[in-house]
Amino acid sequence: MLWMVYAFVIGLVFGSFANVVIYRIPRGLSIVAPPSACTACGRRLTLLDLVPIASWLALKARCRYCRASVSMRYPVVELGCGMLFSSMVFYTESFSVIPLAFLWFLLLCVSMIDIDAGEIPMGLVSAGAVAGVAWVAGAHFVPELFPLAPVWHTALLGVVVAAALSWLVVFARVGFGFGNRQPLAVHMANGLGYVKLASMLGLFLGWQKTLLALWLAGVVFAVFTWRYIRKKDKPRLPFAPFLSGGGLIALWFGQPILHIIGIG
């Protein structure tokens, strides 16, 4: 329980950084410099303005200097990241908690950027892929430290399965006209981003849990698709949040589900 509390606090800090990543990457800004500032008045924020959740509550969701309103999404992202980090400690007490927490930090950032800007930042996906390779390699040479990592050939097959099946979702989005204000080339470029994101997730989950994650994401995505299918001006439906949610369920409950259906 104490480690879960520690992880929650660390997750809050990473959640605060996630807000910086989510805001700056789509705008082509550095996530390192300059320091955080109010998006309305441009005043540099102090440490008292940046305490996760507490600052937002103490300042009543307003900037200390210009009194501009601050979106509720900032504390929600911080709280979500804290809960994800804490849940990873609950899931495992091994060193696997480090790459898994990093994975869900990246997926949180990617999902929010996909919702806001409709793009998949390749820098974050590449960072996740490097972490996944390091995790699988570390488990191969020191298995007692990373007991939850998939075997290397299972992880490699997970990448292949994820890449193949995620293209089906991409073609479905194009075929049903979601995001129809965008040119086909933009659709396909975003689609390639989804394929790379799914492949990165497959590296962490292995082919069996990846198959389950994509099935879950596809089913829920299809439900949302059916809701809007008759509208002429169809909204752009980001797939990254569905994929991230499916991956989280597959990680947590994948083994018993796969055992029930006979492929675990």
pLDDT in tens, 17-50: 999 999 999 999 999 888 888 888 888 988 888 8
What are 48-78's pLDDT values in tens digits?
888 999 999 998 999 888 989 989 999 999 9
Please list, in sequence order, all residues whose beta carbon lies within 8 angstroms of the beta carbon of residue 231, skipping any fewer than 6 positions away. Answer: none
DSSP notation for the chain: -HHHHHHHHHHHHHHHHHHHHHHHGGGT--SSSS--B-TTT-PBP-GGG-STTHHHHHTTTB-TTT--B--THHHHHHHHHHHHHHHHHHH--STTHHHHHHHHHHHHHHHHHHHHHS---HHHHHHHHHHHHHHHHHHHH-TTT-TTSPPHHHHHHHHHHHHHHHHHHHHHHHHTTTTTTS-HHHHHHHHHHHHHHHHHHHHHHHHHHHHHHHHHHHHHHHHHHHHHTT-SSPPP--SHHHHHHHHHHHHHHHHHHHHHHT--
- What is the chain's pLDDT, residue by residue, as a tens digit (264 residues)? 888 899 999 999 999 999 999 999 999 999 988 888 888 888 898 888 889 999 999 989 998 889 899 899 999 999 999 999 998 888 877 788 899 999 999 999 999 999 988 888 999 999 999 999 998 999 888 888 888 888 889 999 999 988 888 777 666 666 555 555 555 455 555 678 888 999 999 999 988 999 899 888 888 877 877 766 666 565 667 889 999 999 999 988 887 887 787 665
